[in-house]
Each structure stands twice: as C-alpha cells, then as structure tokens.
Amino acid sequence: VAPNGIDLAVVRALCSEEGVVAATWSDMASVGESVFAVGNPVGLGWTLTKGTVSALRSHDIKNRKATIPVIQTDAAITHGNSGGGLYNGEGKLIGINNFIINPRLANNTGFAIRFSLLRKWDDVPFNVAEY
C-alpha cells in the first residue's frame, strides 16, 4: 500500500491488552553498528538474528521512478523476515526488513527500508482496507 510501488504495507492495530508497548524508533543508523532482525523466516516462528550495518544505500525500484533509502546488513534476513523490524543495539527500530540479494550471488546480504523514509509518509494517503 506504500506509494511508488514500494513493497510495504502499514497496519494499524487496536490493542487493549495491558503490557503491549509500541517500539521506539530512531532515524539514525551507522555503518559498523550492531543490529538485530526480527521475523518469521520460512514459517519457523518469531526469530532474532544479529549482525552489523554493512552500508547505507539507495535502492532503485525496478520499473518505477523511485529510489528508496535502505540499510544493508549481514544479519540473516530470509524469506519470511520481510516486514519484521531491524533494530539497533539499543533496541530502537531503525528499519523494516524488505529484501535480500539472491543467496547464490551473495550470502547474508539483506536490506531494510530505513525508518527515515517511513516518517516521510506521515501525511501520505495509503490504500486503506478495513477487515
């Protein structure tokens, strides 16, 4: 539902359960910084993998006129991790796990959409569906 064909959905959930706390976030990410990725790789349930920020890059979206800021990491991001969080060593959300390089070409080369891009969408109308 994100603009420019970016593979990202934003979900708003109402929760009345006590003890549920929203993640804190940070727009800052630095090369060499320790990170951890949370996700559901290949249906194995919630997992955590750790790694390092390898680079801060821009990624061109194929067939679109859009470039997005991404965080490259060696934390294991596999199929099923997309949509999970990438957190810094302080536990602050810095990105949303999004895609990997073909493992035949490069091992442990994953990318997360930088949280700074998400903040730019505060006023962007999304395609909203209620269930």
pTM given for the model? 0.78
Residues facing residue 110 across a β-bridge: 73, 100
Q: Which tens digits make up the pLDDT trace of 2-36? A: 656 666 666 666 777 777 777 788 888 999 999 99
Give me the count of residues in the chain: 131
Burial class (CB in 10 A: 0-12, 13-18, 19+), 22: exposed
Angstrom distances, CA of residue 89 to CA of 25, 44, 46, 74, 99: 12, 24, 19, 15, 21
Q: Are 73 and 89 in contact (CB under 8 A)?
A: no
User: What number is the average pLDDT over the span 101-125?
Assistant: 74
User: Could you report the per-residue pLDDT of 36-76, keeping only the tens digit for each?
Assistant: 999 888 778 888 999 999 999 988 776 666 788 899 999 98
Six-digit token pair at 60?
């061109």
Strands (E), 20-109: 34-39, 47-60, 67-73, 85-88, 93-100
The answer to whether 9 and 84 are in contact (CB under 8 A) is no
Q: And the tokens for 16? A: 């009345």
* pLDDT tops 60 at residue 131: no
